[in-house]
Structure 1
Amino acid sequence: MKHYLIRAGMSPYENFTPAYEIVHNSIGSNVGNLVYAYSIFRTLTTEDVKLTPDYYKINPNRADYINANYDGYIIPLADAFRPSFAPKLKKYAELINRLTIPVYVIGVGLSIDFEPNLDQSFEFDQDVKDFVKAVLNKSAILGVRGDITARYLTKLGFTEGKDHTVIGCPSMFGFGRDLPIRDTTITQDSMVTINNSPKSPKHVLDFIDRSAHAFPDHYYIPQWLKELRMIYLGGPDLPSKGSNFPYEVAHQLYQEDRVRYFTNVPSWLEFVGEADLSFGARLHGNVAAILAGTPSIIIPKDGRMRELAEYHDFTYLWANDIDDNTNILDVVEKADFQKVSKRAPENFDRYINFLNENGLDHVFKENPNVKNTVFDQRIAKVNYYPAVKSFVACSHEELIGRWQGILEKEKIVEKRKNEKQIAQLQKDITELQEEVKVQEATLNRKSVQFALKTSGLFGNKK
């Protein structure tokens, strides 16, 4: 039995409450992270392989423990090549250099503008180089999300096809080689799901808002951890940027109970699988719809989304092609929702070749569309929470109970944090005391030597 450690905030088998996820941030600040972790778990879990999440802990001092207890370390990443993640890349490089087990990076991307300028230097270039070199010392090849990231690594001196290869997003391959999309009839009476990001340009936010109103039966599916807190507790609001985005709980979407937040993948896929259409500016919000077989339109807002949209051939709409007259029903009429299905087999084969090159076992060896896997059987036994019930549908007693539950969990976390800090301080004090003893012994020894020398000096004068 092989046992792999995997970068993830939670296992798909764990069914955490919304309160737990809020306090412990087991979704890594964005519930979309659960989607690609879910797919990798399903792909790699066999009768002879199990995966255990690292709960996003990066501690180089745990290298000996990891070496002794795991057969490999699987690290799926999103747009990790960015300034805010650079400190973690440094820690990963230090940790990986201490490991003696294989390390596999299954997807990583560059955070960059929609129109990428790869001639420029980035403040994190050296951190990326150190990270990639560390990984390549522990694996055959590194998987990147798209062409933009591949060109970036090539510019840094790494060779495409030897050091790195484009594999897309692993979330797209968890259910096999075929990726069927339903032929739905999309009308104003359709139930649709919407996803959105405040980082989109204002005219895109305006388009998404008016498009939602074209379908009375619409639901907004947020992904940020802060938005989970909003729907669960009724606040606090997000810092408003003055654009057309549901920043506050007073927004119509919240007040009319048209927000659905999912804390696990199975419930999410089940819900979007009932929709006739998904559209918006979130990557995994639309990937979830595609995996559920629902037609999807994604509006990429930056280079990281663009490279994935192009690689997987999503049905996409560029922001530059949207103006005040763009109508969602016109876009739907012209859209080819099946093109992602047509591209899927080719991309899947390339992904499987990547896994094979790294020597990773997987469930698709005999059947590229295998059903009822070990993973599936275990998932079927979990009674997952449905979408989070909105605060607007709660009684005062329920809402008070939620706040009390959050505060209690936060107190426990704070207590553990304080206990850990106290233990570390006690350890530091003990080490300093030992150092003082050594220094005192050294000073005493030198004092004796000085006294003897001085005594000898005066003795000679006599």
Structure 2
Amino acid sequence: MKRVLIRSGMRPTDIYTAEDIYLKDRTGFNNGNLAYQYSIYRTLWNEDVEIDADGLSSNPNLAESINENYDLYVVPLADAFRDDFRQTLRNYTELIRRLKIPVIVTGVGLRANYEPQLEEGFSFDEDVTNFVKAVLEKSAQIGVRGQITADYLKKLGFNEDVDYRVIGCPSLYTFGRELKIRDLQLTEQSSIAINASPTSSDMAIQFLNNMIETHKDYHFIPQHLDEFHLMFAGGPDISSDTTGYPTSIEHKFYQEGRVKYFTNMPSWYDFVKEIDFSIGSRLHGNVIPTIVGTPNISFVQDARMRELAAYHGLTHITMDELKNARSIEDVLNKVDLKSAEKVQTRNFDNYLDFLDTNGLEHIYKANRNRKTAPLDTLVQAIDFPQSPCPITTLDSKKMLARIQVSTNLLEERQDFKLRYHVNRVKSQLAHLKTSSAQEQAELKKHIETHKEVNKKIETELIKTESRLQLSIAENRKINTKIKHYKGTLNRKSVKATLKIADALASLKNKVARG
């Protein structure tokens, strides 16, 4: 049986209550991460495959354990190419370099402004380059979320369709090759889901707040973990510079009990299937409605959403377009609610080609049009927790009980964090100690090797010096002979000159007498 490790905080079959999530983050701070992770599990889950979650740990010291226990490491990522993820990216780079098994990155993207200045570069360029190189040593290609990220990697020196391929976000492929979005007949009685983040624009929040004045049957679906803490325990308040964003339980969304926070995907899917319409500025807040057939519109305000909306044909409007919209009817007149259907087959086939290129076994090998999956049967047999009620909707007795539970869990959570950091430091120190011992052994070996080399060099030098001394002695002998020959030649030359002079003088006398 093949053993696969997936970067995720939980498996789709794990059952965690609200109290469990309050105690320990299993979503990576954003429960939108559950969406694309669920898709990876569903696509790879087979009876002959054992799949585990890595707990979202990027600890390089776990490399030995991973090598011993797994045959493959699958790493789905979101917008990991960003400044506040640099250290984690470095950790993954070191971890991947130490691994001896294949490592497949099934999606990663760049976080940047709507119009990113790629030519200017980013503070994390070197970290991204090192990460990509490490992954390519363990796999054939990296999957990136969109063309903006592809252009970024090209600028860093990598080759498109060789080193990386645009595959979009795997969450869009959760249920297969086809999307079917329902027709929309929006009325004031329609149920709507609204979504946003603390960094959404003022304009987006104002539009949503205005919309729910008319459409009273609404639910706000946040995704950040601190918003779950706010809903579950009543605080602490969250930070946001956006005017009108719900930062405390005093906000209308909480006071009216209209907040939903999902700790598992099956419950999220089931809830959104029953909603008539979804709108807002959260990517997966609208991807999830898309894949279950609920009409939706995304507000696109950064490069991350822009490239994914473009690749997947997600129904969306830009901030400039929203600025000129006075009502939801104006927005609906600008968009095609079924645009994602038109590119799904092409994108899905490209995604499977990417998996095949990297040698990943998946449930669509024999039939790309497959509708069901082995994971579906397991999930259907589980009674998953629904979104907990906001604390603002509880009666006084239940509210006090919730506060008591939250207080105890908060203390336990702090203890857990402390133990985690202590254990991490111990692990790092143990690794440093081991590394130091290894380095000393390598250094000793290196020194011994150099000693041998130096000894050979010294022997050669002695031989060379000896040969040099012989050469000097030979040169001296030759110089002595040369001097001797020169002296002999000089004497002979003088004698020959004198003889010639005598002969000439004798000849001159004879001529004179004659």
Match of 2:258 in 1: 258
Match of 1:401 in 2: 401
Q: Which is worse superposed, 9-18 or 104-113?
A: 9-18
Give matches, 1:332-343, under 5 Å: 332-343=332-343
Cα distance, 1:12 vs structure 2: 1.0
Whole-Å Cα distance in 2 between the matches of residues 225 and 144 of structure 1?
26
Return the letter of the residue paired with 2:303.
G
Match of 1:361 in 2: 361
Match of 1:70 in 2: 70
Whole-Å Cα distance in 2 between the matches of residues 417 and 254 of structure 1?
29
Confirm whether residue 276 of structure 1 aligns to residue 280 of structure 2.
no
The verdict on how the C-alpha distance between 1:50 and 1:421 changes in structure 2, with shifts beyond 3 A counting, is closer
Whole-Å Cα distance in 1 between the matches of residues 310 and 6 of structure 2?
28
Whole-Å Cα distance in 2 between the matches of residues 57 and 240 of structure 1?
28
Confirm whether residue 205 of structure 1 aligns to residue 185 of structure 2.
no
Cα distance, 1:368 vs structure 2: 2.6
Could you give the per-residue CA deviations for residues 347-374 of structure 1, whole angstroms, max 9, x where no partner exists? Answer: 0000000000000011112233424422
SS in 2 for 1:278: strand
Q: Would you say how many aligned residue pairs link Structure 1 and Structure 2?
A: 432
Q: Contact (CA 8 Å) 1:146, 1:307: kept in 2 or not?
A: yes
Return the letter of the residue paired with 1:69.
N
SS in 1 for 2:300: coil
Could you give the per-residue CA deviations for residues 271-291 of structure 1, whole angstroms, max 9, x where no partner exists? Answer: 111111100000000011111
The verdict on how the C-alpha distance between 1:190 and 1:225 changes in structure 2, with shifts beyond 3 A counting, is same
Q: Contact (CA 8 Å) 1:31, 1:225: kept in 2 or not?
A: yes
Match of 1:447 in 2: none
SS in 2 for 1:321: helix
Could you give the per-residue CA deviations for residues 199-247 of structure 1, whole angstroms, max 9, x where no partner exists? Answer: 1221222112212323121111111111111111122221252602112
Give matches, 1:167-316, under 5 Å: 167-241=167-241, 243-316=243-316
Q: Which is worse superposed, 309-318 or 226-235?
A: 226-235
Larger radius of gyration: 2
Q: Contact (CA 8 Å) 2:93, 2:134: kept in 1 or not?
A: yes
Q: Which is worse superposed, 77-86 or 245-254?
A: 245-254
Cα distance, 1:187 vs structure 2: 1.8
Cα distance, 1:388 vs structure 2: 1.5
Return the letter of the residue paired with 2:405.
G
Cα distance, 1:22 vs structure 2: 2.1
Q: Which is worse superposed, 413-422 or 300-309?
A: 413-422
Whole-Å Cα distance in 1 between the matches of residues 218 and 69 of structure 2?
48
Return the letter of the residue paired with 1:385.
P
Cα distance, 1:402 vs structure 2: 2.4
SS in 1 for 2:316: coil
The verdict on how the C-alpha distance between 1:413 and 1:169 changes in structure 2, with shifts beyond 3 A counting, is same
Q: Sequence identity of aligned pairs in percent?
A: 43
Return the letter of the residue paired with 2:57.
K
Match of 1:455 in 2: none
**Greater relative contact order (CA < 8 Å, ≥ 6 in sequence):** 1
SS in 1 for 2:20: helix
Match of 1:457 in 2: none
Match of 2:328 in 1: 328
Return the letter of the residue paired with 2:284.
H
The verdict on how the C-alpha distance between 1:413 and 1:259 changes in structure 2, with shifts beyond 3 A counting, is closer
RMSD of the alignment, in Å? 2.0
SS in 2 for 1:119: helix
Confirm whether residue 113 of structure 1 aligns to residue 101 of structure 2.
no
Q: Which is worse superposed, 101-110 or 217-226?
A: 217-226
Match of 1:344 in 2: 344
Q: Which is worse superposed, 18-27 or 310-319?
A: 18-27
Match of 2:451 in 1: none
Return the letter of the residue paired with 2:3.
H
Match of 2:480 in 1: none
The verdict on how the C-alpha distance between 1:330 and 1:426 changes in structure 2, with shifts beyond 3 A counting, is closer
SS in 1 for 2:52: strand
Q: Contact (CA 8 Å) 1:175, 1:369: kept in 2 or not?
A: no
Cα distance, 1:404 vs structure 2: 2.6
Could you give the per-residue CA deviations for residues 410-439 of structure 1, whole angstroms, max 9, x where no partner exists? Answer: 43444455556667888969x99xx9xxxx
Could you give the per-residue CA deviations for residues 282-313 of structure 1, whole angstroms, max 9, x where no partner exists? Answer: 00000111111000100012101100000001
Whole-Å Cα distance in 2 between the matches of residues 367 and 234 of structure 1?
49
Match of 1:438 in 2: none
Match of 1:453 in 2: none
TM-score, normalising length: structure 2 = 0.80
Q: Which is worse superposed, 241-250 or 52-61?
A: 241-250
Match of 1:146 in 2: 146
Q: Contact (CA 8 Å) 2:106, 2:170: kept in 1 or not?
A: yes
Cα distance, 1:324 vs structure 2: 6.0
Q: Contact (CA 8 Å) 1:35, 1:284: kept in 2 or not?
A: yes
SS in 2 for 1:322: helix
Whole-Å Cα distance in 2 between the matches of residues 144 and 206 of structure 1?
33
SS in 2 for 1:88: helix
Whole-Å Cα distance in 1 between the matches of residues 109 and 209 of structure 2?
29
Whole-Å Cα distance in 2 between the matches of residues 240 and 90 of structure 1?
29
Q: Contact (CA 8 Å) 1:167, 1:351: kept in 2 or not?
A: yes
TM-score, normalising length: structure 1 = 0.89
SS in 1 for 2:14: coil
Q: Contact (CA 8 Å) 1:219, 1:258: kept in 2 or not?
A: yes
Q: Contact (CA 8 Å) 1:93, 1:130: kept in 2 or not?
A: yes
Cα distance, 1:320 vs structure 2: 1.0
Match of 2:319 in 1: 319
The verdict on how the C-alpha distance between 1:414 and 1:155 changes in structure 2, with shifts beyond 3 A counting, is same
Confirm whether residue 57 of structure 1 aligns to residue 65 of structure 2.
no
Match of 1:20 in 2: 20
Could you give the per-residue CA deviations for residues 144-164 of structure 1, whole angstroms, max 9, x where no partner exists? Answer: 000000000000000000000
Whole-Å Cα distance in 1 between the matches of residues 8 and 218 of structure 2?
31
Cα distance, 1:325 vs structure 2: 4.6
Q: Which is worse superposed, 32-41 or 397-406?
A: 397-406
Which blocks of at least 5 consecutive residues in structure 2 are unaligned? 437-514
Q: Contact (CA 8 Å) 1:246, 1:253: kept in 2 or not?
A: yes
- Flag the structure with higher helix content: 2
Return the letter of the residue paired with 2:30.
N
Could you give the per-residue CA deviations for residues 19-40 of structure 1, whole angstroms, max 9, x where no partner exists? Answer: 2212211111111011111111
Which blocks of at least 5 consecutive residues in structure 1 are unaligned? 436-462
